[in-house]
Chains A and B, each alone.
Chain A
């Protein structure tokens, strides 16, 4: 027992090192001059930190635009996904209606169909809907997720029925009950799902790669992959780009960490 306790601290330090060092090494390297990046033996910390690599990354054609595109897709996806999941979750949590089982089955079956195996038909459908090569195509196709519906349903179930009932007796219209009671009381679940959706869409690669051919509609991930794919990688610039592309996720993660964890508890699934 005691032996195990003595082992704990070093093990925790080792774990921390294993998970913290790679991102820190990325950050440190992105601040080095291109000469220092390839120095042997490697410098652990930049001796003379420079923002030159970041300047090179940002001054790349359209990098700001790619960032803007990614932000638009991630924010719009999060908003849309939260809204429709909240609506569906409310219906499934608090109403009894005909066809409930069928609708539940439809949502459940979507859980078994990852986007990756229906790439080709979706591509054709989006083409027919004239959504190919548009950011809206990236937003609409994955907007409805069973995970989102389940997180919301679980959460809304904990809202006491008596609240809704009281409002109904007062003659409050249904949509107002939704907006004035359900939405404000579901803020923690909304934060969790919004954060997850933002991160998922921000990180999407295969999907935009398939849909977007017009370079002015590229997302950050596409720009990154393009830099990785080059035969001769410009490492200083790529490392700086990587750091920049992680910043929104990092900010969101640190500020909403509590909700990420609680969202995991109720959803327990990755998309």
Chain B
């Protein structure tokens, strides 16, 4: 399909090409193109009209808000949620909000915890999805169904995932502690103990996302030429060696893409926590997004501070995206 498409593309004559692209090249002199000026203008405008809704919405709801958010971080102001509670007039404070954010021990705690979450969850989800991909890359009877089962958790809301696992993690009535009791292990306070709860969030997050990244890795695996493995087999190399010498190096771009995507996703961890732990016990599973939200909407006149917190998150994500772009450029 793609090859024939390419050939057809190449077969197009330059004149036809100019004809095909409105605005690309003037008609050669002497030709009596009778298309009126208006219809030619309409033709030239066509791609812009096609792009208008997307660009308009992106500017309104993405680019302009980003600029406004960065601007807001320099002001002391609140958000008027209801008409009855007026916010004070925005007051320019320079970088005071950033100073305040970095002097706030609670925020620093949340930031450290979020980074910790990313540092634990991302390598774990990458390894798990790589193992799943290696296990399920070959087609066998029912392989599509098995892949779909593993992929499905990524399609349900993290809120539901949280509900299911909160139920499974139950202290006195949960299935997990029951299974543990069968092998005479004391019930584990999965969601009652601060550090156990953080581990639980990581585990459930990995469970929920692994299928998605597995699919990406399987795609990457299918691009590795089979001949390389055949050559390895002829050389009597062990599968283990083939994995380290062939699979892993050739899969590096895919794996780094997965790690970057997962990092961005992990920085935004929040929905899962709502239903799994509710941020508790205490405030031990409160992460960045929840803090930003609470600062903006629960504290008076703190929208500027929340904007500064968002700006810090933005810089972190921007760095990650730049790394991603670098790596995907290396790939091609």
Contacts and interface: CB of A to CB of B under 8 A. Distances in A.
B164 A118 contact: no
A203 B157 contact: yes
Interface residues of A, number: 97
Contacts of B56: 144
A6 interface: no
Interface of A: 1, 4, 8, 11-12, 15-16, 18-20, 22-23, 25-26, 29, 38, 40-42, 83-85, 87-88, 90-92, 95-98, 103, 106-107, 109-114, 116-125, 127, 140-144, 146, 149, 158-162, 164-165, 168-169, 174, 178, 199, 202-203, 205-206, 210, 221, 224-225, 228-229, 235, 238-239, 242, 245-246, 249-250, 253, 257, 260-261, 264-265, 268-270
24 contacts: A4-B239, A12-B135, A12-B136, A22-B207, A84-B53, A87-B50, A87-B54, A91-B46, A91-B48, A92-B51, A106-B55, A113-B62, A114-B264, A114-B268, A116-B313, A117-B311, A121-B307, A158-B5, A161-B12, A161-B20, A205-B271, A246-B156, A253-B148, A268-B261
A103 B56 CA distance: 11
Given A91-B51, A107-B54, A15 B150 contact: yes
B55 A103 contact: yes
B60 interface: yes
In the complex, which range does the number of interface residues on chain B fall in? Answer: 35 or more
A26 B178 contact: no
A3 B55 CA distance: 56
Interface stretch (B65-73, B103-111, B194-202, B244-252): B65-73
Given A117-B317, A125-B64, A22 B136 contact: no
A118 B69 contact: yes
A165 B20 contact: yes
B43 interface: yes
Given A84-B54, A97-B23, A121-B65, A225 B159 contact: yes
Contact of B296 (A114, A119, A245, A270): A119
Contacts, number: 273
A270 B212 contact: yes
Given A113-B66, A117-B317, A118-B65, A87 B160 contact: no
Contact of B65 (A125, A174, A210, A246): A125
A270 B20 CA distance: 34
A249 B239 contact: no
A203 B158 contact: yes
A22 B63 contact: no
> For chain A, what secondary structure do more than half of its interface residues adopt (helix, strand, loop), or is it mixed?
helix
A264 B219 contact: yes
B9 interface: yes
Given A25-B168, A29-B167, A120-B307, A16 B149 contact: yes
B265 interface: yes
A110 B175 contact: no
A96 B24 contact: yes
A84 B160 CA distance: 30
Nearest to A264: B215
B122 interface: no
A234 to B, nearest CB: 12
Contacts of B212: 264, 270
A242 B48 contact: no
Contact of A15 (B135, B297, B317): B135
B188 interface: no
- Of the listed residues A90, A146, A162, the one surrounded by the most CB atoms of chain B closer than 10 A to its CB is A162
Given A95-B21, A144-B58, A228-B275, A124 B68 contact: yes
A103 B49 CA distance: 12
Given A119-B293, A228-B162, 19 more contacts: A15-B136, A40-B178, A41-B178, A42-B178, A87-B54, A95-B47, A110-B62, A113-B63, A114-B264, A121-B69, A122-B65, A125-B61, A174-B43, A174-B46, A203-B158, A205-B274, A224-B275, A242-B160, A264-B216
